[in-house]
Amino acid sequence: MPTPSRSIVVFDLGGVLIDWNPRHLYRKLIADEAAMEHFLANVCTQDWNERQDAGRSFAEAAALLKLEHADKADLIDAFGERFDEMMAGPIAGTVDILGELLSAGAAPLRFPRLVPRRPRLRRGRPHQARSAHLPPALRAFRHPAARCRLH
């Protein structure tokens, strides 16, 4: 008898389930809007952040970045130490959709470091996304797909 199939749901967190934006934090740390934008465009860039999404540890990423921008060490460290302040809250529509899928029996994969502070994301198996050879927008999904045999 064949094993019944089970639906697996993999959602991106930032910008999909959670209103994540480093500006939520850095507006508190850098008073001048133009200086903040310059910092995010040239120091803690989107590309730099995506390398952590792909599996590089924040400790390694921060150490490398501080070699180039020693004068910004405190601001670089804040990215990891105050990461939760980059999240303004859930994006209601997609969180509602996720809730409906879970109620229908879908099995989500979740991201452990966010779960203690985001109770609505507690359901699902713990998982840390890792990947290295996909375009940045898809890297976080490679490992969950392989783990669930979706590749």
Query: Could you tell me the two tokens for 116?
Result: 């203690």
Tell me the per-residue pLDDT of 13-57, one tens digit each, with 9 for 90 and over: 777 778 889 999 999 999 999 999 999 999 999 999 888 877 889
State the pLDDT at residue 113.
46
The answer to whether residues 130 and 147 touch, using CB atoms and an 8 Å cutoff, is no
What average pLDDT does this structure show over 103-122? 54
**Residue 118 pLDDT > 70:** no
Mean pLDDT over each residue of the chain, to the nearest integer? 74
pLDDT of 151 reads 43
Among residues 119, 127, 117, 26, which one has the least CA distance to residue 74?
26
Measure the N-to-C terminal CA separation of the chain; round to a whole number of Å: 24
* Pair type for strands 87-90 and 8-9: unpaired
pLDDT at 82: 94
pLDDT number for residue 120: 43
What confidence score (pLDDT) does residue 98 get? 76
Average of per-residue pLDDT across 101-115: 62
**How would residue 95 be classed by pLDDT, with cut points 50, 70 and 90?**
confident
Q: Answer yes or no: is pLDDT of 144 > 90.
A: no
DSSP of 105-126: T-EEEE-TTTGGG-GGG-SSEE
Q: Specify the amino acid at residue 56.
A: R
pLDDT at residue 102 tops 60: yes
